[in-house]
Amino acid sequence: MDERHLKNLLFDLDGTLTDPKEGITKSVEYALNKFDIQVEHLDLLIPYIGPPLYNSFMELNAFTAEHSLRAVEFYRERYRSVGIYENKVIAGIPQLLEELQTMGFDLYVATSKPTVFAEEILKHYGLDHFFKHVGGSNLDGTRALKKDVIQYVLDENSLHPEQSLMIGDRKHDIIGAQACGVTSLGVTFGYGPEEELLAAGADYIAYQVSEIRELVLQINLNES
């Protein structure tokens, strides 16, 4: 097999496989309320979807490191019991995963969400059987950056970067893939606009779920 033959597909979770908007924004609101911060509309919290929460509390609310740690704890109070299930599978994703699996690709998840939450979500929505491995962050906050998660998935499964493709909806997915020497495919049906993905340097863009399969085939052809 050609060393650049595409074989491994790494998927982001939030905004790529599922739409977690309700659960994440309501849990962030819950955490912010603990600091007497009121939110006018949940849509204002959409930027929290995707990046590591600890970083987001510092960047978006100017929290100190200590307050960010507390905010993540408050977030999880609500998320682990309620928010995790305020989620829904993006239309067409199960069919796409089945097609890609049938075509012989190995599928993985690479997410900044804690692994324990990611595994529960995939199991709850019947997607877990499609993936050979689920890589996420640790509950103690380590391995939260996307580049670290992607590298972890590559290392744990002895995957070659040149045979792998990262598929995600935020700039962090693209930047993380680049840092690991992995080709990137940005999707615009999640929470990162096309401009964000292109500015980050996405190699390919899919505007709807159905385009991912064709792009994967195109990339495979280009790299064979």
Residues across the chain: 224
Nearest to 119 by CA among 95, 139, 146, 93: 139
Task: Give the residue numbers marked as catalytic.
Answer: 12
Tokens of 160: 């070659």
Cβ proximity of 109 and 122 under 8 Å: yes
The residue whose two tokens read 């200590």 is 66
Per-residue b/e over 134-169, b at no fewer than 16 CB within 10 Å? bbbbeeeeebbbbbbbbbbbbeeeebebebbbbbbb
CA dist., res. 134 & res. 212, Å (int): 20
The residue whose two tokens read 């849990």 is: 27
